[in-house]
Amino acid sequence: MRIIPAIDIIDGKCVRLSKGDYNTKKIYNESPLEVAKSFEGAGIQYLHVVDLDGAKAKHIINHKVLEQIAIKTNLKIDFGGGLKTDEDLKIAFNSGASQITGGSIAVKNPEIFQEWLIKFGSDKIILGADCNNENIAISGWLEESDLKVIPFIKEYQEKGVSYVICTDISKDGMLEGPSFELYERILKGCHSEKSEESIKLIASGGISTFDELPKLAELGCEGVIIGKAIYENRISLKQLENYIINK
């Protein structure tokens, strides 16, 4: 299971929210690059970057931060937040993103999202399936749709999606543990008899202790995004470094 720390950006700074509420913003570092370098120094290879300004504005904003991290580290970055057009994607990939995550676009403009899948391939395009009470949420989690998370993922799986990030918003930033049961049901529900490959599910939201990581790996999660637990020193970079070395 891949360890993927998260950097959420507002005004070029590294922040965290609770349950996606912009009013709960807490700044952890003025320099996302400094944070990214500390992750790389612990042997971490992957990074999840969210442009929270972009999510609100509905177009990419913090691409310069992405570019800086991509140039000055060797981290493989997946980038999301406000990606709505081909131009947004072009900017993200040109700024150094290895993958992009599309959430709202997959709900509101499925034709565009499918075009991206065809054009860039399923290794480059991640489906963002963020949910509250199992309803898919969009627009930086400011809107809730009536789409249910498992059928939503299954439908896109049939259209060629392989990577899925699922954040249980009720857990996000709360340090109360992830939605093990939801991830178990997603992995069972999206197990394809026709294809040998199941979806590559990346768990996100609520990670609070190191002990939760082996449990997520056991469930079959392909990756785990960790945010506040690192910033609040609930999980140390040393623990993550040892996990990566020993797995």
Q: Which two tokens stand for residue 151?
A: 């059928």
Set 51, 53, 88, 130: catalytic member: 130
- Residue 130 annotated as catalytic: yes
User: CB–CB of 137/144 below 8 Å?
Assistant: yes
Q: SS3 for the chain, per residue? A: CEEEEEEEEECCEEEEEECCEEEEEEEEECCHHHHHHHHHHCCCCEEEEEEHHHHHHCCCCCHHHHHHHHHHCCCEEEEECCCCCHHHHHHHHHCCCCEEEECHHHHHCHHHHHHHHHHHCCCCEEEECCEECCEEEECCCCEEEEEEHHHHHHHHHHCCCCEEEEEECCCCCCCCCCCHHHHHHHHHHCCCCCCCCCCEEEEECCCCCCCHHHHHHHHCCCEEEECHHHHCCCCCHHHHHHHHHHC
Spot the catalytic one: 8, 51, 53, 78: 8
- The catalytic residues are 8, 130
